[in-house]
């Protein structure tokens, strides 16, 4: 069960990142593809699978965010990534703001990946 949930989670992570980057590229090119119905639906499905698989993993391997600082830090970084992605794709009204938000979102993802692999918090309390 663990391996299935882990692989599903990692696949959803990869798809989420690919879709975010793809939508960002389309935004920069002002592509009509960005406005297709599937582009508005599929990322939400992928992110739902990502969230459900993450919660499932937390129950299979009982990691308590209070006892494992790296986990709550990762959760905060993922929330920041989602917020920045939403900002970039919906609200940023200049290319500079879009690129700045995109760079910060990718930085959040990189830090979250580092936490997931190292299981060492960025900040120790």
Distance, C-alpha 86 to centroid of its chain = 11
pLDDT digits over 26-39, tens only? 999 999 999 999 99
pLDDT at 51 over 90: no
Geometric angle at alpha carbon 19, from 18 and 24, rounded to 5° = 100
Place of tokens 């993922």: 78
Identify the residue with better confidence: 75 or 20.
Answer: 20
Q: Which two tokens stand for residue 7?
A: 């692989």
Segments in the chain forming alpha helices (H): 2-29, 37-60, 69-86, 95-118
**pTM: predicted TM-score of the whole model, two decimal places:** 0.89
pLDDT of the residue at 46: 94
User: Of residues 15 and 124, which shows the higher confidence score?
Assistant: 15
């Amino acid at each position: 069960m663990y391996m299935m949930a882990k692989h599903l989670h990692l696949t959803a992570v990869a798809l989420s990142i690919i879709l975010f980057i793809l939508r960002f590229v389309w935004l920069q090119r002002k592509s009509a593809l960005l406005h297709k119905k599937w582009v508005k639906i599929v990322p939400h499905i992928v992110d739902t699978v990502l969230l459900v698989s993450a919660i499932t993993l937390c129950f299979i391997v009982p990691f308590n965010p209070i006892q494992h600082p790296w986990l709550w830090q990762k959760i905060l970084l993922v929330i920041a990534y989602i917020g920045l992605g939403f900002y970039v794709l919906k609200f940023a009204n200049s290319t500079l703001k879009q690129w700045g938000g995109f760079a910060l979102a990718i930085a959040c993802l990189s830090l979250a990946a580092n936490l997931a692999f190292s299981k060492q918090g960025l900040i120790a309390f």
